[in-house]
Each structure stands twice: as C-alpha cells, then as structure tokens.
A = this chain, B = another copy of it.
C-alpha cells in the first residue's frame, strides 16, 4: 500500500477526519466521513489504480466495485497516488477531454498553474468545491457551483504535456522524452488542425457528465491568463447501470469495443504495457504513461447501409455476441489460421480485429475510448459522431504506431471511419500530498 493510502487508512482507523475533508460543510463531506468512519475504506480504495505499482514491490489493494457498472456514485478515486488516476481506472461513463495551449512564456507561471490544478483536482475528485469557504459576497465564487450537492462520481483528472511543451519557449527541450516523438502521418488521415495537438492534455472522466463538465470548466477558469482551450471533446459510454454489469460496451457501429483490452487488474501486464519503468529516461516520466488521442469520425450513414455480414467481416467478429468469426464466445481467441470451406481465412486478412491484434505483447496498448456525438456536420448534414480513441502505453513508437500503421494500410474499417484529430501527451506520474503534478519536469 502506498504512502497516501496508508495515511487515509490509519487516520480512518483512529476515527479522525482525513486531512483533506476537514472543515468542509457539504453533503460530500458528510458522505466521505460516513465512508471513512464506517469501514468504508475498501470503497475509498476501490480504484484498481490504487496500490504502489510504481516501486514494483508493494501489494495491490483488493479491488472492490471495480467493474464500473453500477458503481457507487459516492466512490472516490484517490487523487494522490504513485500513478495518476484515470489510466488503469476502470472506465467511467463520461469524458470531458481538453487540450490547452499556454499563452505565457514564463515557466514559473506554468509551474503555478500546475500547482493550482493539482490542488483543485484533489478537491474536485473528492467531491469538494474548488477553493475555500464561500462567504465572501463581494468576490467571485471560487467554485462555479453547478456540481454542488453532487457526489464525487469516481471523477479522475489526468494531466499530460504534448511535444510542443518542449519547444524554445520554456527551455525544456533537453527534457523531452524520445518516446514523445512526433507521430508519423498515417495513410488515410484527414487531420484538421482544430482537432490536433496542444501543449497540455487533460482527461476528465466521471460517472456523471455534469460533474465532469464542472471539473473541466473550473480547471479552465484556473488557467485564465496562462493557458487557453485549444480543443475539447465530450464523450460517453453506455451508462453503468443501463446494462448487465461487466459487459463490454458497444461503439456507435454497434459492435463491442474493448474485448481484447489487457486486464487492468493484471499488475504485471500494466507494468509491461502502460507504466514507464524506472530504468527508462527521462526520470520525470518514471511511473507515468504516454497517451495517444485520436478523434475518429464514423461514416455512420454509410455503415448503416452495409449488410450485417459485411459489417461482421469488417470487424472479424459477430455483432451480437462479440465472438470472433467461427467462435462462440466473446473472449474466445481469434482463430487467425482457420479457413472456411472455400479455403479462405475465416477472419479476413483485412479484418479490424486481426490487424489490431498485436503480434507480440510489446505491441499492446491499453485502450480507454469513448463514443462521441457532436451534432451534425454543417457541410454534409450528417451526424458528426464517432470515437474519441484514447490509449495509454510505455512507448507509442513501439506500441500505438506499428498497430496504427497496419490498420491504416489494410483495415477494412477504413471505408467507414476517418481520423480527423490527433494528439499525444506525456502523462506524468502521480503526485504525493504536498507535491504537484508535473513537479519532476518543472523543478
């Protein structure tokens, strides 16, 4: 158990209020105390991201309520931890993603921003308002208030910096990780600048959209004069309680999405796939992870005119069950060598699942995607909907890039999708109480 969690547990056992929630008077506080006081520590520690994976020696806390569905809205995912939350956290129902551009050229102001953001994120993920007591009628309220009375809803806020952070402005060039190389241009990309890049990426996830919006809005407000929004995208999954617990959610093409994802409970796999190891440079990324974000527009109207067998050949899976073609159950392995009666591969050579399937474990990524629907495309009158693809990995050059190169060349799904946005961010390791996110880079 890592230091931060140990602290919470010990204090709770002593019947004391955890430091973070002292002297607050809100429903959230009462709920937190109830949890902390009544043996609810398991719930506080329920995030699968909890447990000191960083040092590689500590034990994982027993995960509870970790299947996301029907999650308790009062559940808090601890903000201070060895790793940032929101990466190996089981996916919440909603995302508000934002890329920011810095308007300052002073590194000191960037540091201050991340200090303010850290403090605010710790409060908001605990279900508390930003700032102090609001009895100053003559001042703008520190918190914008629309989440007052709402539960923490498993909010996580995950911060990273893009390649542009290492340009001439801040003198950080020497600290740029090699793994944060510019992504190559992939065949078929139709990237639009308004959906690309950003000095800073912030992933806010929560089981309530209003709670997630509130967090992003207050972070944006705290950045005033230092950074501005470059692009944002909201997204959703089927809501936790809306289907059978633990089922793989479906994307907007109607297919289950995430079946082949590695198990976030498998500590070894997460070390192998997601977390930057201490042996790698730069040291400030040790315990962090690289995020790739792609805004993938789906040509829904075209897809909807294709036959079911075409659709299933495209994915290499049955739509209804999610099972690989020729197999019975969703989690059956892909029979990549099996042939049909005509001697053709049962799973076509161009099938998405075949090509996305990494040849080696080193090529796997942890996907954490959300569907999006953003009204209609004014030029075509069609729905602007698709997937906000997000994945985490130790090194995009050997994980996301080779997978996407294969997909870009041959994936039959390319007839129905188009990548319109792209960004990548080096997501810092977690912060400890008293420290701040990004400290290792900025100090």
Contacts and interface: CB of A to CB of B under 8 A. Distances in A.
A234 B375 contact: yes
A39 interface: no
Contacts of A27: 243-244
A376 B216 CA distance: 12
Given A242-B150, A308-B139, A252 B376 contact: no
B244 A376 contact: no
B236 A376 contact: no
A304 B250 contact: no
A307 B137 contact: yes
B150 A220 contact: no
A249 to B, nearest CB: 8
9 contacts: A73-B239, A73-B241, A145-B254, A145-B319, A150-B242, A211-B242, A213-B373, A229-B376, A231-B376
Given A137-B307, A145-B253, 16 more contacts: A94-B209, A138-B307, A139-B308, A141-B254, A144-B253, A144-B254, A145-B255, A146-B371, A147-B250, A210-B238, A210-B250, A213-B252, A229-B381, A233-B375, A239-B239, A241-B241
A87 B185 CA distance: 50
Contact of A209 (B146, B220, B239): B239
Contacts of A242: 73, 150-151, 153, 207-208, 210-211
Given A146-B252, A307-B140, A374 B374 contact: yes
A149 B330 CA distance: 14
B209 A236 contact: yes
Interface of A: 27, 73, 94, 96, 134, 136-141, 143-151, 153, 194, 207-211, 213, 217, 220-221, 224, 228-229, 231-234, 236-239, 241-244, 247, 249-255, 300-301, 304-309, 311-312, 319-320, 371, 373-376, 378, 381-383, 385
